[in-house]
């Protein structure tokens, strides 16, 4: 069974927090409104994982972070990417998944996009810009928020950290893979 984008994004955030961030070019700014309102803006990274066919755009500042995962199909192409629940986005390209988190007074607030759109535009040699408009649902309760934002001058780089092939569903009847260990 394939890992959900939520798990993929959490892994990316953990790795990003545990290491020095790679050099970035471009910026991402997003604001949200609902029971809680806020915003984040800063330099952003855009990484293309060819194995999973996903473009991940993220920015993290302290305990607040946002990540967009765009699933274009075979390669990164400009276009409109409908925001779907993370478990569906990976299997229905072109599509996008959105994840947002921040530290509240007593708990980490986490949200996943479930509707909306990400528009991706090519703005120059190897650079992309775009905008986001999405609704998101809390991962722990019934809260909902609305997100709007934009990103500019992102340079897409190959993802060498955390880019792994999707997990395959292995039935109990199938022969186990040869690990080379005897």
CA distance 132 to 18: 28
Give the model's pLDDT for residue 20.
42
pLDDT band at 168 (very low <50, low <70, confident <90, very high): low
142-171 mean pLDDT:
82
Regarding predicted confidence, which is higher, 94 or 9? Answer: 94
More confident position, 174 or 71: 71
**CA 64, 67, 163, 123 torsion: positive or negative?**
negative
* Average pLDDT over every residue of 130-140: 96
Give the helix, strand, coil percentages of the chain, each rounded to 5.
Answer: 10, 50, 40
- 85: pLDDT confidence band, cut at 50, 70 and 90? very high
Q: Residue 172 has what pLDDT?
A: 45
Structure confidence at residue 98 (pLDDT): 98
With the C-alpha atoms ordered 30, 36, 37, 39, is the resulting torsion angle positive or negative?
A: negative
Residues 76-109, buried b or exposed e (16+ Cβ, 10 A)?
Answer: beeeebbbbbbeebbeeebbbbbbbbbeeeeeeb
Averaged pLDDT of the chain: 83
pLDDT at 33 over 50: yes
How far is Cα 58 from Cα 64, in angstroms, rounded to an integer?
Answer: 11
CA dihedral angle for residue 140, residue 162, residue 89, residue 149, rounded to 10 degrees: 70
Average pLDDT on 6-27 reads 52
pLDDT tens digit string along 113-126?
Answer: 999 999 999 997 77
The H or E element spanning position 7 is: helix 5-18
Neighbour-count burial of 160, counting CB atoms closer than 10 A to its CB (0-12 exposed, 13-18 middle, 19+ buried): exposed
């Amino acid at each position: 069974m394939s890992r959900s984008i939520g798990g993929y994004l959490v892994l990316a955030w953990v790795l990003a927090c545990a290491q020095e961030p790679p050099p970035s070019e471009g910026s991402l700014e997003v604001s949200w409104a609902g029971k809680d309102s806020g915003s984040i803006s800063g330099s952003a990274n855009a990484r293309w994982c060819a194995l999973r066919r996903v473009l991940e755009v993220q920015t993290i500042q302290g305990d607040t972070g946002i990540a967009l995962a765009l699933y274009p199909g075979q390669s990164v192409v400009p276009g409109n990417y409908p925001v779907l629940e993370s478990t569906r986005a990976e299997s229905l390209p072109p599509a996008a998944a959105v994840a947002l988190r921040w530290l509240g007074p007593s708990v980490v607030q986490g949200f996943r996009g479930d509707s909306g759109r990400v528009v991706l535009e090519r703005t120059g040699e190897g650079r992309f810009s775009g905008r986001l408009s999405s609704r998101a649902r809390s991962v722990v309760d019934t809260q909902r928020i609305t997100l709007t934002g934009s990103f500019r001058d992102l340079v897409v780089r190959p993802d060498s950290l955390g880019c792994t092939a999707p997990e395959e569903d292995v039935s109990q009847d199938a022969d186990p893979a040869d690990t080379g260990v005897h």
